């Protein structure tokens, strides 16, 4: 078995000059570009938009409703009922909405809001910062470092990867484990995240993977998540979920629970014999 495995293992000798002039430079360049990108992003990112008082009020009113829905069992039934009634009425009337007048056409003017524009521009800028260097480096590698084998992967791969990883070299028999410099670029892209979090601290903008996910979602993104939320819709849906809550007071069988806790009783009776 052993000899069989060895005979199918291709042995090739690579010029050490390849290691010195391709392997290390690609890594070094990627690290430097990552750090540069991080610093540039810090410079370019404007201040996060300061929320308006009406925005805060709106957001917190929503949170209040959510908290009521979540913790409703800890307050007595009467307290819950009065809050539910008040909040449902308020949500319906739009008491907490920022622009009460435009309650009906709230979805239309989301683009026109100047603050939202700034937030979206910021997001776009960040994404450009991510995509442009990646594309540039990939192009650079393709241009300069194509047509030869760089490394041997320590793990075997299926034949379908051959086309992607050995892009410049047309050989039918060469093992898929021998790959070109473009795949080294990809390995670095995923691997340098750890290095960046060491050098730049946790929250850094030099993350290759984050850019790839951003690229993927950019097409599917209809509107920037977070800012132009339609509060009226959210209020109404929260009102609906509040109105169907069946209040079960947590303290209904507290006497039994306490007696059990202090060892006076073995188990809580579910039929709540008070």
Is 58 in contact with 232 (CB distance < 8 Å)? Answer: no
Of 23-31, 61-69, 147-155, 162-170, the segment contacting another protein by CB under 8 A is 61-69
Q: What gap in Å lies between CA 199 and CA 204, rounded to an integer?
A: 9
Is there binding between residue 61 and another protein (CB under 8 A)? Answer: yes
Is there binding between residue 75 and another protein (CB under 8 A)? Answer: yes
Is there binding between residue 89 and another protein (CB under 8 A)? Answer: no
Q: What gap in Å lies between CA 30 and CA 186, rounded to an integer?
A: 11
x/- mask, another protein, residues 215-254, rule CB under 8 A, reads -----------------------------------xx--x
Q: DSSP states of 179-204 as a string?
A: EEHHHHHHHHHHHHHHHHHHHH-SS-
Q: What gap in Å lies between CA 272 and CA 256, rounded to an integer?
A: 8
Residue environment code for 165-200, b if the CB has 16+ CB neighbours within 10 A, otherwise e: bbbeeeeeeebbbbbbbbbbbeebbeebbeebeeeb
Contacts of 36 (CB under 8 A, 6+ apart): none
Is there binding between residue 267 and another protein (CB under 8 A)? Answer: no
The least CB distance from residue 82 to another protein, in Å, is 9
Is there binding between residue 81 and another protein (CB under 8 A)? Answer: no
Of 38-46, 52-60, 196-204, 229-237, the segment contacting another protein by CB under 8 A is 52-60
Is there binding between residue 48 and another protein (CB under 8 A)? Answer: no
In this complex, which beta carbon is closest to another protein, that of residue 37 or of residue 84?
Answer: 84
Interface positions with another protein (CB under 8 A):
50-53, 56-57, 60-61, 63-64, 67-68, 71-72, 74-76, 79, 250-251, 254-255, 257-259, 261-262, 264, 273-274
């Amino acid at each position: 078995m052993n000899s069989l495995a060895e005979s199918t293992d291709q042995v090739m000798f690579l010029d050490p000059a390849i290691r010195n002039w391709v392997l290390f430079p690609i890594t070094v360049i990627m690290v430097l570009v990552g750090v540069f990108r991080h610093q540039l992003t810090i410079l370019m990112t404007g201040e996060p938009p300061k929320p308006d008082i009406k925005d805060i009020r709106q957001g917190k009113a929503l949170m209040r409703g959510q908290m009521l829905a979540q913790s409703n069992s800890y307050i007595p039934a009467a307290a819950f009922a009065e809050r539910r009634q008040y909040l449902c009425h308020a949500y319906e009337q739009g008491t907490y909405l920022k622009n009460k007048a435009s309650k009906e056409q709230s979805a239309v003017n989301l683009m026109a809001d100047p603050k939202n524009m700034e937030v979206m521009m910021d997001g776009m800028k960040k994404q450009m910062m991510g995509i442009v260097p990646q594309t540039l480096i990939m192009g650079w590698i393709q241009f300069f470092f194509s047509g030869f084998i760089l490394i041997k992967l320590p793990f075997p791969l299926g034949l379908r990867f051959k086309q992607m990883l050995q892009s410049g070299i047309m050989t039918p028999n060469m093992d898929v484990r021998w790959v070109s410099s473009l795949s080294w670029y990809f390995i670095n892209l995923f691997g340098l995240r750890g290095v960046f979090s060491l050098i730049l601290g946790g929250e850094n903008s030099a993350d290759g993977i984050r850019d790839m996910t951003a690229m993927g979602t950019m097409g599917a993104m209809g509107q920037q998540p977070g800012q132009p939320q339609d509060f009226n819709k959210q209020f109404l849906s929260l009102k609906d979920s509040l109105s169907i809550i069946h209040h079960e007071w947590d303290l209904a069988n507290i006497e039994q629970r306490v007696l059990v806790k202090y060892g006076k009783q073995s188990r809580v009776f579910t039929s709540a014999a008070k």
